[in-house]
Structure 1
Amino acid sequence: MSVTQRSLPVEPSRQAHRHGAASAPAGAANEDAPLLDADDATHLLIRTGFAPTPAEIGPCVGLTRAAAVERVLATARTDAGTPLPAWTADIPMTRAQRNALTPEARREAQRERSQHYDELRAWWMHEILVTPSPLTERMTLFWHNHFASGADKVAEPLLMAWQNALLRRNALGSFATLLHEVAKDPAMLLYLDGASNRKGKPNENFAREVMELFTLGEGQYSQQDVSEAARAYTGWGVDPDTWRYVWRPAQHDDGMKTVLGKSGPFDGDAVLDILLAEPQTARFVSAKLWREFVSDTPDPAQLDSVATRFRTSGYDIKAALGALLVTPAFWDERNRGVLVSSPVEFIAGTVRRFEVSYASTAMFARTSAALGENLFYPPNVKGWPGGVTWINSATLLARKQFVEQLFRATGETRPRMAGTTTMATENAKAGAVASGAMRPAPRAMPGGMRFDLDGWLAHFGLTADAVPGLSAQLQMQHAVLPLAPVDAIAAGSSAAAYLEALLMDPVYQLK
């Protein structure tokens, strides 16, 4: 059975996982919620990060929902711990220098830019794997998809590195600040043609997308609103020598405009403030957060509560997310195991869950691209649609091939090999290694990975060749799946074969 054959969202039995634990009724007060058990803590941490380790789960057990959510939110960072690739510190060529390049030099510069984009993807995958704040990277990924822009129209990877830092800096801060900064971000100005928007020849791309995709949503504005707003954004540009935002007053239309019923000689920032003043903006963004963290179908009443908290907080993202994560819907059993993991979540979750050693994170970035999520290269201005669209016959096969590669990387020698990178050592030295380029393993392994299978199975008192009993099978299911498996596993399977079958099960794609 494939994930696409399986009806999502689902309301399956969790007997193998919850042992009869009851779900909170809709509308139940937060103070009536029980203290978190290990399953609750796992649910919170896998939704707000990647696959959590027992060391991360333990401190949340026994806390109230509110206290556990606050603990997760308290980890938020505003910068990456992994140093950016060295080339991001280089001074970019000026326009005159670019124009003076020979044809061969231009081709070489293009090859170098392509290589830099690959290095940037590997760098971000490395940060995702070693970050002490998985929520920060989850939210940076969320905003990367919300404010979609990428390599197809932004030739300079340096600009996407700057944008990535901007998204992370504001990932759990003020949405109002984030919106204003993204609007003037050089990568966004190039991607949505804002840099070519000038008085007398307004370009409407950004004006339309900022309403439809970033704030209000489809059907909440008119074409006249777009045309008038486009005039307000004139004069915003990108310096061709420094690649930085520049204000060009001579190209700005300072005439009267009417946007969403408001009239005045607005500039771009004034129009953004008009959008932020609309209650629909808080509801639209809150609904996207709901679909990212809770389910595909928001509960109207609970969503209203989250949106109200978002708006009254002055667009504090952390406040909105905190309100979302304590809703009864987030903790409802019916909303567990109903979201499909994105390629980045699938890969990072597998590597983190099994403490996989690796020689380079470049292979993980390439795998993510093959699965449909090519970082810094969204499919279009709407970003990745996500959900069940992540899964089709080709991508599900590729996910299973990644699992097969993992099991081929168990190696003949059981002790962990010196020279490879492990999650434990990387978390200790995150920030000391740049670009995700790790020391090579002394013995070649498939894809540079190394999975200590016996070490992982030892937690269950098993070896790879042992046949697990029913109790051990249930413990293994519980450790890697959000729900009971849907595919039958051959009786008498060894522990290694049983684990591989669990990871091949469609439920492994869910969170």
Structure 2
Amino acid sequence: MASRAAVSALVASALPLRASAGEPQPAHHGKPAAPGEDELLDPDDARHLLLRTGFAPAASDVMPYVGLTRGEAVDRVLDTKRGVALTPLPAWTAEALPTRAERAALTPDQRRDADRLRGQHYDELRAWWLREMLVTPSPLTERMTLFWHNHFTSGQDKVSEPQLMANQNALLRSEALGNFGAMLHALAKDPAMLLYLDGASNRKGKPNENFAREVMELFTMGEGQYTQRDVTEAARAYTGWGVDPDTQHYVWRSEQHDGGEKTVLGKSGTFDGDEVLDILLQAPQTARFVSARLWREFVSPTPDEAQIEPVAEQFRASGYDIRAGMRALLLTPAFWDEDNRGVLVSSPVEFVVGTVRRFNVSYGDTMPFARTAASLGENLFYPPNVKGWPGGTAWINSSTLLARKQFVEQLFRATEAARPPKRGAMTKAAAAMPPPRNPPMAQGGMHFDLDGWLSRFGVSADATPGLSAQLQMQHAVLPLAPVDAIAAGSNASAYLEALLMDPVYQLK
């Protein structure tokens, strides 16, 4: 672990780390971790659970979890799961796609217009998903959907029709906390996946190995767990799976399927694609690999093999019930260990959505939020490559850290736009004018009721918070004590802004 000085120095290189245990910390950061699901949650434990399994929680979200046991709290979070989105999709997602003949009949100008419209629809789809994350009663569902979007990677660069990605997003959400095996089988035949990994062009005599390789390396077992022969043989099994050029739906073409004998992971038979997927699911390494991916997402960057193994065993024994696997993961001692708090970097989407949810920010259009996340490196439905976003410290560099701070500045401009200036700072003419009916709002129509948020600490924006209020504010917004000094005598508004500008605010 790094010292405060080291963390502060790393701000320049945009790589925040947690503070040293040897530095002065608020009392809640020194509480020793204790194993067992019967341990009771204090407010910091509750915030930790909700921060890791969702987006940054508001104070009203935290208190119902205080006093529950770890087991009760984890079950309550898991019980919030949803299978469908709360927010209606854009109307165009229900429209029929142009047929092959209709596409061929387009003039060059019409084709350019169609391309622009598809790009616009992708932007609208991103804004729709951001809104769903902001309003969902189940942040865990959206976090898991986001996780699977990065695990089963598909994207705009090879999937031209945004309707297909909207359908895949719905599929990921339906099984986000459902069954991994069912999701794997469904994703393998999903039109967006078939197009993204060239499965639609995989046919007898001319097998395309892209999907066969990635399903082993990225979706199930991981690198080094299979041979090139396994890939070649599996690719033959997936032949015949395609996408109808008119409807863009999955289609089975038996005449293009290789029905000969294959050998995959030491097992031989006239396998089809579903049977090969079952072979991958039977491999114990699949449960280990997926559990390790979940560990890096929810616990720490470095998996503890001793604690992952029982999680993987429970995951596999449950028939790949994702809820059962997540429950085992969230009840590991490592999840609750103080040393594993503040060691993960919030993704751009988590940072934006978490900030808006935590401070109960009102807003209008969510398109600016989607664009902010994209500018920070997470352009939804457009991952950088087949491996998805690497995450972790890769989210932070000098450019993205500056952009995150600029988003915080936007938040406080939204506050200033909505709050009347001090009377003494106004001219006589301005003082005589009635207040505007609709005060100006920041980008995206943001409005942050700063005084309302601070009122729970017994201070107003212009008042100087005492030590107790300062510590309460720290606990509410940071997973660890701040590493940068805050100017003495700062008023509550400046103090809160300094906390959000601290590198620790990027951590969870």
Shorter chain as normaliser: what TM range? over 0.9
Other-structure match for 1:436: none
SS at match of 1:237: strand
Q: Please give the per-residue CA displacement for 1:180-203, whole angstroms capped at 9, x wherever unaligned.
A: 000000000000000000011100
**In angstroms, what is the RMSD of aligned CA positions?**
1.5
Quick check: 1:16 aligned with 2:26?
Answer: yes
Other-structure match for 1:240: 245
Could you tell me how far apart the structure 1 residues matched to 2:295 and 2:262 are?
Answer: 34
> Which of these residues, 448, 454, 457, is aligned with residue 457 of structure 1?
454
For the structure 1 residues 329 and 98, does the alpha-carbon distance in structure 2 shift closer, same or farther, using more than 3 Å as the test?
same
> Which of these residues, 157, 162, 186, is aligned with residue 167 of structure 2?
162
Contact 1:45 1:52 in 2 (8 A): yes
Other-structure match for 2:482: 485
Q: Give the TM-score of the pair, scaled to structure 2.
A: 0.92
Could you tell me how far apart the structure 2 residues matched to 1:489 and 1:38 are?
Answer: 24
For the structure 1 residues 452 and 7, does the alpha-carbon distance in structure 2 shift closer, same or farther, using more than 3 Å as the test?
closer
Could you tell me how far apart the structure 2 residues matched to 1:508 and 1:272 are?
Answer: 41
Other-structure match for 1:472: 469
The Cα of 1:59 is off from its aligned counterpart by: 1.4
> Which of these residues, 434, 442, 453, is aligned with residue 446 of structure 1?
442
SS at match of 2:242: strand
The Cα of 1:297 is off from its aligned counterpart by: 1.0
Could you tell me how far apart the structure 1 residues matched to 2:68 and 2:400 are?
Answer: 38
Contact 1:189 1:237 in 2 (8 A): yes
> Which of these residues, 83, 101, 116, is aligned with residue 88 of structure 2?
83
| Structure 1 residue ranges without an equivalent (≥5) | 416-440
Other-structure match for 1:172: 177
Other-structure match for 1:224: 229
Could you tell me how far apart the structure 1 residues matched to 2:302 and 2:260 are?
Answer: 43
Could you tell me how far apart the structure 1 residues matched to 2:283 and 2:18 are?
Answer: 31
Give, as a single letter, the amino acid of the residue that structure 2 aligns with 1:21.
Answer: K
Give, as a single letter, the amino acid of the residue that structure 2 aligns with 1:191.
Answer: Y
The Cα of 1:470 is off from its aligned counterpart by: 1.4
Could you tell me how far apart the structure 2 residues matched to 1:20 and 1:205 are?
Answer: 49
Could you tell me how far apart the structure 2 residues matched to 1:445 and 1:205 are?
Answer: 48
> Which of these residues, 482, 492, 508, is aligned with residue 495 of structure 1?
492
For the structure 1 residues 478 and 90, does the alpha-carbon distance in structure 2 shift closer, same or farther, using more than 3 Å as the test?
same
Other-structure match for 1:353: 358
Could you tell me how far apart the structure 2 residues matched to 1:474 and 1:280 are?
Answer: 45
Could you tell me how far apart the structure 2 residues matched to 1:294 and 1:211 are?
Answer: 24
Give, as a single letter, the amino acid of the residue that structure 2 aligns with 1:260.
Answer: L
Contact 2:14 2:397 in 1 (8 A): no
| Structure 2 residue ranges without an equivalent (≥5) | 1-7, 421-436
Other-structure match for 2:324: 319
The Cα of 1:54 is off from its aligned counterpart by: 2.1
Q: Please give the per-residue CA displacement for 1:93-152, whole angstroms capped at 9, x wherever unaligned.
A: 111111111111111111110000000000000000000000000000000000011000
Give, as a single letter, the amino acid of the residue that structure 2 aligns with 1:320.
Answer: G
Could you tell me how far apart the structure 2 residues matched to 1:167 and 1:60 are?
Answer: 28
Q: Please give the per-residue CA displacement for 1:436-475, whole angstroms capped at 9, x wherever unaligned.
A: xxxxx94432212111111111221212211112111111
Other-structure match for 2:209: 204
Contact 1:9 1:296 in 2 (8 A): no
Could you tell me how far apart the structure 2 residues matched to 1:306 and 1:381 are?
Answer: 27
> Which of these residues, 110, 113, 122, is aligned with residue 108 of structure 1?
113
For the structure 1 residues 112 and 443, does the alpha-carbon distance in structure 2 shift closer, same or farther, using more than 3 Å as the test?
farther
Task: Considering Cα pairs closer than 8 Å and 6+ residues apart, tell me whether 1 or 2 has the greater RCO.
Answer: 1
Could you tell me how far apart the structure 2 residues matched to 1:42 and 1:399 are?
Answer: 22
Other-structure match for 1:424: none
Equivalenced residues, count: 481
Could you tell me how far apart the structure 1 residues matched to 2:459 and 2:60 are?
Answer: 21
> Which of these residues, 195, 198, 220, is aligned with residue 200 of structure 2?
195
Other-structure match for 2:309: 304
> Which of these residues, 275, 282, 307, is aligned with residue 277 of structure 1?
282
For the structure 1 residues 335 and 198, does the alpha-carbon distance in structure 2 shift closer, same or farther, using more than 3 Å as the test?
same
Contact 1:48 1:293 in 2 (8 A): yes
Contact 1:9 1:339 in 2 (8 A): no
The Cα of 1:5 is off from its aligned counterpart by: 6.0
Could you tell me how far apart the structure 1 residues matched to 2:334 and 2:464 are?
Answer: 39
SS at match of 1:70: helix
Could you tell me how far apart the structure 1 residues matched to 2:176 and 2:346 are?
Answer: 20
Could you tell me how far apart the structure 1 residues matched to 2:244 and 2:83 are?
Answer: 26
Give, as a single letter, the amino acid of the residue that structure 2 aligns with 1:364.
Answer: F
> Which of these residues, 340, 343, 359, is aligned with residue 338 of structure 1?
343
Could you tell me how far apart the structure 2 residues matched to 1:164 and 1:330 are?
Answer: 28
Could you tell me how far apart the structure 1 residues matched to 2:107 and 2:446 are?
Answer: 41
Could you tell me how far apart the structure 2 residues matched to 1:254 and 1:152 are?
Answer: 32
Other-structure match for 2:424: none
Moved more, 47-56 or 313-322: 47-56
Other-structure match for 2:503: 506
The Cα of 1:55 is off from its aligned counterpart by: 2.0
Other-structure match for 2:370: 365
Contact 1:235 1:250 in 2 (8 A): yes
Contact 1:11 1:334 in 2 (8 A): no
The Cα of 1:413 is off from its aligned counterpart by: 4.0
Could you tell me how far apart the structure 2 residues matched to 1:314 and 1:413 are?
Answer: 53
SS at match of 2:224: coil
For the structure 1 residues 192 and 300, does the alpha-carbon distance in structure 2 shift closer, same or farther, using more than 3 Å as the test?
same
The Cα of 1:309 is off from its aligned counterpart by: 0.2
Quick check: 1:252 aligned with 2:249?
Answer: no
For the structure 1 residues 217 and 466, does the alpha-carbon distance in structure 2 shift closer, same or farther, using more than 3 Å as the test?
same
Could you tell me how far apart the structure 2 residues matched to 1:445 and 1:30 are?
Answer: 45
The Cα of 1:9 is off from its aligned counterpart by: 6.4
Give, as a single letter, the amino acid of the residue that structure 2 aligns with 1:486.
Answer: V
Give, as a single letter, the amino acid of the residue that structure 2 aligns with 1:343.
Answer: P
Q: Please give the per-residue CA displacement for 1:287-345, whole angstroms capped at 9, x wherever unaligned.
A: 00000000011111110010000000000000000000001000000001110000010
Other-structure match for 1:49: 54
